[in-house]
Amino acid sequence: MRIIRVAGYEEMSSRAADVIAAQLILDPRSVLGLATGTTPVGAYRLLVEKNRRGEIDFSQVRTYNLDEYRGLSHDDSQSYHYFMADNLFKHVNIDMANTHVPDGSDPDAESACRAYDAMVEEAGYPDLQLLGIGNNGHIGFNEPAEGFPVGTHCVDLTPSTIQANSRLFDDPDDVPRQAYTMGVGTIMKSRRVLVLASGAAKADAVRAMCYGPVVPSCPASALQLHPDCIVIADEAALARCPEE
The residues binding ligand F6R (CB under 6 A) are 35-39, 66-67, 132-134, 138-141
What whole-number distance in Å separates Cα of residue 222 and Cα of residue 226?
A: 7
What whole-number distance in Å separates Cα of residue 189 and Cα of residue 77?
A: 30
What whole-number distance in Å separates Cα of residue 205 and Cα of residue 83?
A: 24
Is the torsion defined by CA of 52, 45, 131, 67 positive or negative? negative
Among 65, 87, 136, 142, the one annotated catalytic? 136
Give the CA distances from residue 1 to residues 69, 112, 226, 232, in Å, rounded to whole numbers and listed in that order: 30, 32, 7, 10
Nearer to ligand F6R, 57 or 216 (CB): 216
Q: In the complex, what is the shortest distance from the CB of residue 158 to ligand F6R, in angstroms, rounded to a whole number?
A: 11
Q: In the complex, what is the shortest distance from the CB of residue 55 to ligand F6R, in angstroms, rounded to a whole number?
A: 25
Nearer to ligand F6R, 16 or 133 (CB): 133
Nearer to ligand F6R, 58 or 141 (CB): 141
Active site residue 142: no
Q: In the complex, what is the shortest distance from the CB of residue 207 to ligand F6R, in angstroms, rounded to a whole number?
A: 16
Is the torsion defined by CA of 119, 33, 132, 147 positive or negative? positive
Q: In the complex, what is the shortest distance from the CB of residue 195 to ligand F6R, in angstroms, rounded to a whole number?
A: 9
Among 51, 65, 67, 100, the one annotated catalytic? 67
What whole-number distance in Å separates Cα of residue 3 and Cα of residue 197?
A: 11
Among 65, 100, 117, 138, the one annotated catalytic? 138
Q: Where are the beta strands (DSSP E) in the chain?
A: 2-6, 31-34, 62-65, 67-69, 99-100, 128-131, 153-156, 178-181, 192-197, 229-234
Q: In the complex, what is the shortest distance from the CB of residue 25 to ligand F6R, in angstroms, rounded to a whole number?
A: 25
- The distance from CA 1 to its chain's CA centroid, rounded to whole angstroms, is 17
Active site residue 143: yes
Other CB atoms within 10 Å distance of the CB of residue 192: 17
Nearer to ligand F6R, 140 or 183 (CB): 140
Nearer to ligand F6R, 39 or 152 (CB): 39
What whole-number distance in Å separates Cα of residue 210 and Cα of residue 133?
A: 12
- The distance from CA 194 to its chain's CA centroid, rounded to whole angstroms, is 9
Q: What is the set of active-site residues? A: 67, 136, 138, 143
